[in-house]
Amino acid sequence: MLAGDYSKYFTVLDDGVVMTTSDISPLVNRPVNLVVVEETPNATNTHNLQLFVMHRSDMLRFPGSMLDASGEVRENRPTGTRVRGIPLMQALSGDAAVENNTGAPKKVRYTIIDGNDDEAFALQTRKSTEKSAMNVKSITVDSDGEAGVWLVTNRPLDRETKAHYDLSVQASDIDELDKIISKIQVTVLDENDNHPIFKSTEYKFAIAGLKSTGLEGNTTTTWKRFSILGKVEATDADGDKIAYRLSAPNNIVIIVPQTGEIMLADQPHASELLIEVEAHDLRYPSLVSKQPAKVLLEFLAPEPVSFIMQHLEHDAINEHSHHREKRRVTRAVRPTKRIEFTEADGDTEGKSVFQLEKETDKETFKIRDDNPWVTVETNGAVRVKKKWDYEELGPEKTIDFWVIITNTGQHVSDLKYTDNQRVIIHVKDVNDEPPYFINRPLPMQAVVQLNAPPNTPVFTLQARDPDTDHNIHYFIVRDRTGGRFEVDERSGVVRTRGTDLFQLDMEYVLYVKAEDQNGKVDDRRFQSTPEERLSIVGGKRAPQFYMPSYEAEIPENQKKDSDIISVKAKSFADREIRYTLKAQGQGAGTFNIGPSSGIVKLAKELDFEDLRQPHVYSLIVTATEDSGGFSTSVELTIRVTDVNDNAPKFELPDYQAHNVDEDIPLGTSILRVKAMDSDSGANAEIEYLVSDDHFAVDSNGIIVNNKQLDADNNNAYYEFIVTAKDKGEPSKSGTATVRVYTKNKNDEEPKFSQQVYTPNVDENAGPNTLVTTVVASDKDGDNVRFGFVGGGTSSGQFVIEDITGVIRLHNKAISLDRDKYELNVTAMDDGSCCVNGDHTIHTSTAVVVVFITDVNDNKPVFKDCGTYYPKVEEGAPNGSPVIKVVATDEDKGVNGQVKYSIVQQPNQKGTKFTVDEETGEVSTNKVFDREGDDGKFVSVTVKATDQGEPSLEGVCSFTVEITDVNDNPPLFDRQKYVENVKQDASIGTNILRVSASDEDADNNGAIVYSLSAPFNPNDLEYFDIQAESGWIVLKKPLDRETYKLEAMAQDKGYPPLSRTVEVQIDVVDRANNPPVWDNTVYGPIYVKENMPVGGKVVSIKASSGIEGNPTVFYRLMPGSTAQTNKFHTFYLQQRPDNGDTWADIKVNHPLDYESIKEYNLTIRVENNGAQQLASEATVYIMLEDVNDEIPLFTEREQETVLEGEPIGTKVTQVNA
């Protein structure tokens, strides 16, 4: 470093490192220029170095939690979504928060400098949520303690494209002199946003059948049930598990949900079957593949070797339309191709070794599995991927791989197939490896007897060569013995030469090598070992250790008596060797050695931290031959390494800092903690952590505030844990407690419990009514006084208590004629919390919006209820409109909102009508039958309920007229009419009256009678019928015994309905008389509706009309309606009495006045004469009502009455 103004503060080391040599505080906030000279053997260069010295507290720093942070964000979230887990990034710089020259807030530039692939993330200022305030590259903000930037997404992310981001965010000053970097890991969380996708949209599988011959010689083909036809496969980009199902059930095949395998479940009915398969993931909610896979199954006869398979190409007109392609059945494999090459044939990467044969020009090739030695191109060329090395190949010395051969065809008529072929390359070795000596120990040593005769072996050279065709020869390269030794070129045995005696302790040196004479380097040289020195000593020589020196490394927790290293020596006299161990310096007795084994063991426990124990032990191992032989020694160095067995320990268990102002700037040093670790190296390197994110701690243990302190929220002190953690594996840690006691200031304004209060007051509230209570508290502990903005404790009709915050209506007359009142209230502290607190008084405000709530004192009213006279036609479909009812409620808000409902009628199963609860539209809830149980009029009660609390109700009852539809034909009161007429009956005689009834009304129920003679048209000449009355009248003298007619009753509805009945008139002799009734009409007879079953209604009697033959037979004729005994409500019981026969009419089923009020019964009596003649009588029965029904209220009533209402005020009206 050249001398200059600042050279006394700095120096430069030989390796280029610039270091400080003295206190550089005089240079703070000053630029420093240095000149460094770099000298090389051939040149000298100068370098200008510009530095800027800053005070440490002024330098930017991230809080400890931001130096290495991690967060997460879900994929598909909109642009501008904050990364969860990443706090506001604030680079702080202590007191230097303003620019030196302007006094303006210091600017900090934040930049994403690395890892922001595809600009996935951006930075956003703290005070903005608009996308316009985002910047992908960098953003500059003031360093005022409140500013900072958020890490947000710059676009919706896709986890399947990239799941992790490692970002580097740099904070720097405007000149980029001061920088700090935060490493941020962002994980993109998965959402189920990918549908499964089939690997192929079309699959084609075939199965061959089995031929079987029956007893009659018939041949049939069957397919084995539960055979696997094929397998479909889909993938899910979300990584979800996939299940499969058929789009439509199928009796022939099934699919295994977990695997996609298609199995044959039953014998097919056709040679082809087309199915569709869906794939769905096993997430909730589950996603289904957008496009199903189409699978064509073909069931083949047993014989063919090849076949034509259908290939489906669906069009928009017919989803089953397709054309056919030729396709050969895939062969298992082509014949294996075996080929032989030498190692040298594969010596160049990319070299084409050979070509695979094609059957057609359209075949393409692809290697099936990755192979380290070769690749296969689409044209079939096999190329070298990596230089072949015979010695690295497996024991078979082959390169073995499979190729896939595909013919896709270019036209529909082309044959398509996919074949497989195995290729085995047999590699022959090339002699390319030199030999090497395997003699041990090194250097080579031997002894020779002083009187050794010629050809005495003294040593054997041993070499190896990896090549398979090696041809090793041994040679003496340089002879320093004067020709006293020779080597066998093939065996490597070194022998003596000559007869001269060898001299005691004299060293004879030979330099030897081994050559592979099959491995030529060039025309003159062979591959060989380096020259090795062979030392031969005459007579005796000391043992030789196998290593020139030994080293071992053990951890301090090595177990006592465990083996550490084996130190062995070779005896040239073939004697037993004894080993001894001696420490050099400290450490005697720490290790011992096995006298005969040479194994060094640990004799006592180690402790790296014990200053009395060395970390490196220097030992001498001596090997001595038995029986006074030679000895030799070797150095053994054992190094002891530290184990992380000591946790860091703090100097104090508790640290305290008192009277810390709560408003100190961020990054202010509060106290320093210190921990020590008895270990060494990384095991003793300590980093500090704190448990409260209000604070941060640096590597020196200095604790600073990371957030603004607040004496009011923490009972005036913070207590947290500081952890000292070493960098060992695994690491150990120690903890201490830190308490920071803060000093309170009156720096907090009172805060209301809420900024807006919204109480409700009833419209009829009186004086002094409680409105609400506002609550405010001061974190500093000051007392709080309340009032209204502008001063005072009253505002209009409202007053506030200054101590409690209770707001009431004033004690005068109240008139709340608006929907709401807005009051602005204040809370003021008194500074009683701290010394001089009253010098700074704080005030805050809140808004009280008093809503005047309507009192639910009006019930809904149907003003037009009396005008409701709706009609609905019988048979109208369910849901037919009837009428729209309207109820009004004079209250406001929900108290005036009305909903409608139908009131269930007493003894009614279900409701016959429905009403729209919002509109009041009444509709039918059934199909009405006017002549059935519904009747001509149906009562309905609609209820209107307001939404107040409690709710009020109003009802409207009206009658719905069921208008008639001609849906009932006339019904005769008998199923057949039979009448006896004397032969001499005169013309104009009323023979018989037929009677029919129609339940319809008006013209729909008006009946007109007519007569026909379908059996004998001539019969119609004798009779006529009165259209209105139904009397059949004789219009021609009778001249036959029987006449059969047909009477028809037809109503006047449109279209008209009619019924017919058979009428039989029997002509009897004028001398015969029919039975004679005492009365032809009985009644009306009044009967109580509660007459028991079996009770007698009336007794009637008829005489036979035959003198001397009083026998008669009665019969109760069933009619066509319930009123004419269609359902046998009554029965007849015949009894004799004093020679007469009576008929008692009795009750057969319970009677009900509310259902049927009257009955019309026809009784027929026949005598027992030669011609059985009959007469009929009519019995009219009228039921009388009995009080057997209890009154039922039409609805449940609930009303509200305001207190203070005068006596006699109408409350409600009940209906039953």
Classified as helix, coil or strand, 792 is: coil
pLDDT band at 1202 (very low <50, low <70, confident <90, very high): low
924-937 average pLDDT score:
84
Task: Specify the pLDDT at position 458.
Answer: 92
| Confidence (pLDDT) at 323 | 42
Q: Does domain 544-641 have CATH number 2.60.40.60?
A: yes
Q: Which residue has the tokens 């103004």?
A: 5
CA neighbor of 946 nearest in space, from 1200, 735, 629: 1200
Once rounded to an integer, what is the mean pLDDT over residues 77-99? 78
- Could you say which of 3.30.230.10, 2.60.120.10, 2.60.40.60, 1.20.1050.10 is the CATH number of the domain covering 436-538? 2.60.40.60
**Within this chain, domains 197-300 and 751-853 share the same CATH topology:** yes
Q: How far is CA 546 from CA 435, 438, 925, 1181, in A?
A: 21, 13, 111, 140
902 Cα distance to chain centroid:
45
| Sign of the C-alpha dihedral computed for residues 348, 351, 357 and 358 taken in this order | positive
Averaged pLDDT for residues 557-578: 91
Burial of 1037 (0-12, 13-18, 19+ CB in 10 A): exposed
Distance between CA atoms of residues 175 and 342, nearest Å: 66
Q: Residue 692 half-sphere exposure, CB side, CA atoms within 13 Å?
A: 20
Pairing state of beta strands 164-172 and 532-538?
A: unpaired
Write down the CATH number for the domain with range 337-424: 2.60.40.60
**Cα–Cα distance measured from residue 1030 to residue 994, given in angstroms and rounded to the nearest whole number:** 5
Q: How far is CA 704 from CA 142, 660, 709, in A?
A: 21, 11, 11
Confidence of residue 430 (pLDDT cuts 50, 70, 90): confident
Pick from 62-71, 217-226, 416-425, 908-917: least confident: 62-71
**Domain ranges across the chain:** 10-53, 60-94+106-189, 197-300, 337-424, 436-538, 544-641, 649-743, 751-853, 865-963
Is residue 957 within 8 A of residue 941, CB to CB? The reply is yes
The architecture in CATH of the region 751-853 reads Sandwich (2.60)
DSSP secondary structure letter of residue 106? P
**Helix (H) or strand (E) run with residue 686 in it:** strand 686-690
As a whole number of angstroms, the distance between CA 996 and CA 1005 comes to: 10
Pairing of strands 631-641, 293-300: unpaired
Instruction: Indicate the helix (H) or strand (E) that contains 64.
Output: helix 64-67
Say yes or no to pLDDT of 131 above 60.
Answer: no
How far is residue 528's CA from residue 513's CA, in Å, rounded to a whole number? 7
Q: What is the pLDDT of residue 330?
A: 47
The 10s digit of each residue's pLDDT in 1176-1186 is 888 999 999 88
Contact 1038, 981 (CB under 8 A): yes
Q: Quick check: 169 and 179 in contact, CB under 8 A?
A: no
Report whether pLDDT(343) > 50: yes
CA-to-CA distance for 426 and 449, rounded, in angstroms? 53
- Name the DSSP class of 67: H
Helix (H) or strand (E) holding 1023: strand 1023-1025
What pLDDT, on the 0 to 100 scale, is given for residue 373?
93
Residue-wise pLDDT for 1072-1126, tens only, equals 788 888 998 898 999 999 999 999 999 999 998 888 888 889 989 888 788 888 8
Q: Which residues of 1164-1189 are buried (b: 16+ CB within 10 A; e: fewer)?
A: bbbbebeeebbbbbbbebebeeeeee
The CATH H-level (homologous superfamily) assignment of domain 865-963 is Cadherins (2.60.40.60)
pLDDT digits (tens, 9 = 90+) for 684-696: 899 999 999 999 9
Is 501 exposed, middle or buried (CB count within 10 Å of its CB: 0-12, 13-18, 19+)?
A: exposed
Domain 197-300 belongs in CATH node 3.30.70.20: no
Residue 248 clears pLDDT 70, i.e. is over it: yes
Q: What is the separation of C-alpha 776 from the centre of its chain, rounded to a whole number of angstroms?
A: 44
Q: What is the mean pLDDT of residues 524-540?
A: 91
Beta carbons of 79 and 50 less than 8 angstroms apart: no
**190: exposed, middle or buried (Cβ count in 10 Å: 0-12, 13-18, 19+):** middle
Which is it for strands 577-584 and 616-625: parallel, antiparallel or unpaired?
antiparallel
For residues 1177 and 1169, give the distance between their C-alpha atoms in angstroms, rounded to a whole number: 20
Task: Identify the helix (H) or strand (E) that includes residue 65.
Answer: helix 64-67
CB distance 374 to 385 below 8 Å: yes
Can you tell me the mean pLDDT for 544-566? 91
**For residues 1049 and 1058, is the Cβ–Cβ distance under 8 A?**
yes
Q: What is the pLDDT of residue 1216?
A: 75
The whole-angstrom separation of Cα 70 and Cα 86 is 7
Compute the distance between CA of residue 975 and CA of residue 970 in angstroms, rounded to an integer. 13
* pLDDT for 414: 63
For domain 60-94+106-189, the CATH class is mainly beta
Instruction: Convert the pLDDT of each residue in 6-47 to its tens digit.
Output: 878 888 887 788 888 778 888 888 888 888 888 887 778 888
CATH of domain 649-743: 2.60.40.60
> Contacts from 361-365 at CB under 8 Å and sequence distance 24+?
362/407, 362/408, 362/409, 362/410, 362/414, 363/405, 363/406, 363/407, 364/405, 364/406, 364/407, 364/408, 365/403, 365/404, 365/405
**Where residue 1200 falls among pLDDT bands split at 50, 70, 90?**
low
